[in-house]
Structure 1
Amino acid sequence: MPMTSSADLTVDGGRTAGVSDPLTVTVAGDKSVSHRALLAALLPGAPELLTVRRANLGGAVRALLPAMRALGVAVDVSGDTLVVRRGAAPVPQPVRPHSGVVAWPEDAPYLQTEGSSAAARLLLGILAGTGLRAVVDGDEVLRHRPMDWLVDPLRVLGADIEYLGEPGRLPVLVAGSVHRPGRVDLAVGSAQARSGVLLAAVAAGLPVALRHPVRSRDHTERMLAAFGARLTESDGEVAHQGGDCVVPPVVDVPTDPSLAAYPVAAHLLWGHGGELRVPDVCLNPTRLGFFDVLRTAGADISYEGRGTTTGGEPVGTLVARGGLGRVRRVRVDQPAVLHALIDEVPLLAAVAATLPGESWIGCAEELRFKETDRIATTAGMLDAFGADVAAVDDGLLIRGGAPLRTGEVPAFEDHRIAMAAATLAVSLPGRTTVSGGACHRTSFPDFADVQRAVGARICEDTTS
């Protein structure tokens, strides 16, 4: 088991008595939308003062704040509200040593994004569009994750981007902006890569057509269109027609469906009946794969009361009733479905381990390049519970019905693995220790509080 730096989570199985019915819980804002709303302050059409309400303030979004300040954009945090002001004095970040870099460019701000791939990739796109010269870097884990998915198409559009260490990896120097209109092809279905190119095109006012192999989350397209960007979409392609966009002074962030999945899964795993409601959830179809797969398999999940945010996102109330008694197995064998639940794969696999029948989660090669190799770490986490799971090149095969046990389960310092393990543990008799499980703060600082609100007995072990 790997060494961990985060505190452990301790979970005692079973649901506390006295949980109300129907039960309503509030979940943090969407991480993906929070990143994009914050970076919108760097677009040419942004106001001097931008307010982002109900932002997700987990570690992944907070990783972007020092980088923004180093670019002369002040960011003040008040509760879950970010107040972003342009034209402030830059606050330099300390440079993290790198054995492969002989000398850092002295005339470029150094932007450290820690372990957040979204922060790094979206920031690269904004820089390449605005022509802001800067170095983008990450922690030791992020330095090993691929960046060529984004850098190559940006170079096709004329951007001057230099790898300062290993080719295809951070750190990189963005030295010149995109300036050639045209068509580019993405090698992967990553929403981060597609979003980086689109942000560059819109920031530069550049006509660009972008071919992509699979439909994945489209928060960037929705937000830019809501801001007035001239976007058109067809099968496998999104195009920016050129011109400006105008960022409104206030952007509202909807509840994160990836985070809502954890209390919903706990509610369904207990199967005690009753109704759980999560309001203001982002109902973007490219984010609802976890719920839609379970709905197709027989779970009673519905969406009510739809509206739209200032960032162009559909929102409403997510409702889960009853348990998983009618669900026999789950199956994911289409790339678009996989991308609609890509962050919830560990959780869906954990739920599948409790179901009778053989479940399959495929088309998931991209998971090899997340914070961890999530195919391998999901399998390792479930194996610690005693589940019958096999990891293959592009997915996971879970044979449900094997007796599951409690005990010590690794989180592999991956927030998604940690939260999936803790959620599965609430349905099992006995005590489970999720080692390093407090890494959930990366995306869901209030994870334990929300799970306790729906009846879980979970706490952070401050003695570890």
Structure 2
Amino acid sequence: MPNVKFLPYTPCGSVTAPPSKSDVHRAIICAALSGGRCTISPVALSNDIKATIGCVEALGAKTEIVNDVLSVDGTDIFKNKSAVLDCTESGSTLRFLIPIAAAGGVEAEFRGSGSLVTRPIGLYSEILPQKGVTLESGGGLPLKISGQLKSGIYRVPGDISSQFISGLLFALPLLRGDSDIVLTSPIQSAGYINMTIRTMEKFGIEVDVTDTGWHVRGSQHYIPSDYRTDGDWSQAAFYLVSGAVNGEITVKNLNTDSKQGDRKIAELLREFGAEVIQEADSVTVKKSSMKAIEINASQIPDLVPALAVCAAFAEGTTKITNAERLRIKESDRLKSTAALINSLGGEAVELPDGLEITGTKSLIGGTAKGFNDHRIVMSAAVCAAGSQNPIICTDALSVNKSYPQFFEDYNSVGGKAEII
């Protein structure tokens, strides 16, 4: 995989946030389950989104994309009673679709690549066999499932990936009987679950919040709908941080009423001391003197790499905690984020569940590993806003996992990225 060189730069201008990957995943699944024809727009074909499209097609849906409009026809969903679903490197795709395939009574083999092959599916291996589903796996992928998922009570810990809970929420309305998801510990990444419920509601499914989790009525039907996706707050965070570090950036297409938990980036940048101006559908961030803060990342794990870069330029020591789940992302993201900052002349200490970053006025630059992790490469790009010298980062094309247009958009707001 090629490297990328980032030259020092001053962020300026405006950029449009790409479609939210998290939102698009959910819309594709709901559209496929609707049994009818739907459109979703705008859609950007990142590798993860391609994985979800391929998997719903394997289950019988048909799709077509013209420009940035994706058409999904779910008329034949679950007509294929055996299927191979290649999730490539997309954890969302895998964890969403395991219970969905089981709800459809599909004998399915799930495959993947990269780090996804070893990422845990432990919760499903514990609870699905109690509900009529047989799982065969050597501990990761490939995974084979068979049987028919049954309704009932699902007891799940809240401190696992929210993707497991979202997967169950998608599947349970398809079953004949009512079901309850009962949390056995406090919830983390609640914003992602709220996104799932909101998208399901747009497609006609009702989920009731209870004191202990969620109640899902059985025998519901997803209704075909044309769906408009949100801009991606997770990706916007990289630009907003760059403005806080050394410039002024406006990011458009950001719904301030979004259910995305990562919209908290605006509030956190204010806490750091940056100047933040929020309007109905855009956020502007201007450089200002920043000071260290304390961050509980339990609800916003995807923001940690970008926040760590911001902390590298804030006076004092910033502490990020409750982020232990980042160890099982595309990379061990606590280790790789610390390595990125340290390799460029910053000071980051890895904690069991987070990071401590002591700020400096600038970074030196140099060579950094991308760890084949899209968020680490994009974080390296932001570091260049406060670097004295160029930064060379490995694994440049890992950004295609979530944001294929990143380098082009980055260069449009003053960045200087060159694939080498």
1:423 aligns with 2:382: yes
Distance 2:166 2:31 in 1: 16
| Identical amino acids, percent of aligned pairs | 25
Which residue matches 1:39?
29
Alignment match of 1:129 (pick from 103, 116, 136): 103
Distance 1:450 1:429 in 2: 22
1:413 aligns with 2:372: yes
Which residue matches 1:9?
4
Residue identity in the other structure for 1:240: V
1:79 aligns with 2:67: yes
**SS of equivalent to 1:56:** coil
Which residue matches 2:279?
304
Which residue matches 1:179?
150
Residue identity in the other structure for 1:132: V
Which residue matches 1:308?
none
* Cα distance per residue 1:286-334 (max 9 Å; x no partner): 23232222223333324332xxxxxxxxxxx232232131x2013113x
Larger proportion of helix? 2
Unaligned runs of 5+ in 1: 93-106, 306-316
1:237 aligns with 2:225: no
Alignment match of 1:387 (pick from 346, 350, 370): 346
CA contact (8 A) 1:50 1:84 kept: yes
Q: Root-mean-square deviation (CA), in Å?
A: 2.4
Alignment match of 1:147 (pick from 98, 102, 121): 121
Which residue matches 2:285?
321
Distance 1:249 1:297 in 2: 41
Shift of 1:351: 1.1
Alignment match of 2:82 (pick from 108, 120, 126): 108
Residue identity in the other structure for 2:410: Q
* Cα distance per residue 1:98-136 (max 9 Å; x no partner): xxxxxxxxx832111111010111111211222222111
**Closer, same or farther: CA 301–211 of 1 in aligned 2, 3 Å:** farther
Residue identity in the other structure for 1:318: S
TM-score, length-scaled by structure 2: 0.91
Shift of 1:246: 3.1
1:188 aligns with 2:188: no
Shift of 1:84: 1.5
CA contact (8 A) 2:127 2:154 kept: no
1:251 aligns with 2:227: yes
Alignment match of 2:43 (pick from 39, 48, 55): 55
**SS of equivalent to 1:63:** helix
**Closer, same or farther: CA 425–211 of 1 in aligned 2, 3 Å:** farther
1:378 aligns with 2:337: yes
Distance 1:248 1:15 in 2: 46
What is the count of residue pairs matched by the alignment? 414
After TM superposition, the runs of 4+ consecutive aligned structure 1 residues lying more than 6 A away are none
Distance 1:82 1:63 in 2: 14
Alignment match of 1:163 (pick from 136, 142, 147): 136
**SS of equivalent to 1:288:** helix
CA contact (8 A) 1:59 1:443 kept: yes
CA contact (8 A) 2:274 2:287 kept: yes
Residue identity in the other structure for 1:65: I
Distance 2:17 2:114 in 1: 30
Shift of 1:408: 1.1
Residue identity in the other structure for 1:252: R
Distance 1:433 1:401 in 2: 20
Which residue matches 1:440?
399
Which residue matches 2:178?
207
**Closer, same or farther: CA 205–444 of 1 in aligned 2, 3 Å:** farther
1:198 aligns with 2:186: no
Distance 2:403 2:95 in 1: 21
Shift of 1:87: 5.0
